[in-house]
Amino acid sequence: MFLIGASCPKALLNNNYTFLQAISFWPPIVFIGIFLSSFSAALSCLIGASRVLYAMSCDGMFGPLLRITRKTNKKGNPYVAVLVTWVIVQLVLLIGKLNAIAPLVTIFFLLAYTACDLACLGLDWASAPNFRPTFKYFSWHTALLGSISTLAVMILVNYIWALVAIAIAIILSAISHYTAPRVAWGSISQQLIFHQVRKYALKVEKPI
């Protein structure tokens, strides 16, 4: 990537999407690589997204809206969730322009990374006992830096779609908050409040 960026002019990179074929030692290998990587990524995302949809349905998120995706075949594969995910993908592909789809997909991926960073940040601030990251250099600083970085890249890619994606995430979070079943272990917001109260109580408490 760095060698191509350093040796090819900007106009070529912006306007010719198949320039690698001209500089490759065997031109067909470029299309073979594009096909195999695209097929592998599409298949893994389709199966992975459908499993997430199935897990959300099993957890009761969004109430009865996702109940249909809970159905599985005899082997336990959530075929309805796969079909629903496939339909959503086809609706996006109806845009018909790769240059319009790519920024949209990139922004939603970045939004997912932002959510993961924020979740890790909240768990670290709350000192959750079951949160033990194995990454050697993890801290709340790296989680916060990751959140800010991904949000900044989202705005750089397309600030309009970034705002739309953030609005969609907020709306879905609000719907999930009111439709998800209540759990015994509470929420991260409750844990943050409890942790701050505990820290304050330990600070002001004086031994007799």
Q: What is the pLDDT of residues 159-175, one digit of tens each?
A: 898 999 899 888 888 88
Residue 182 DSSP class: P
Could you report the per-residue pLDDT of 18-75, keeping only the tens digit for each? 888 888 888 889 889 989 998 998 888 888 889 988 988 888 777 777 888 888 888 8
Q: CB count, 10 Å around CB of 147? A: 19
- List CB contacts of 111: < 8 A, sequence separation 6 or more: 150, 154, 165, 166, 169
Residue 63 is predicted with a pLDDT of 74
- Residues 92 and 147: their CA atoms lie apart, in Å, by 26
Residue 138 is predicted with a pLDDT of 86
Bin 186: left if φ > 0, else alpha if -120 < ψ < 50, else beta: left
Residue 207 is predicted with a pLDDT of 56
- Asked if 81 contacts 58 with a C-beta cutoff of 8 angstroms, the reply is no
On the question of pLDDT at 183 being above 70, the answer is: no
The amino acid at 16: N
- Asked if 21 contacts 27 with a C-beta cutoff of 8 angstroms, the reply is yes
- Residues 129 and 198: their CA atoms lie apart, in Å, by 14
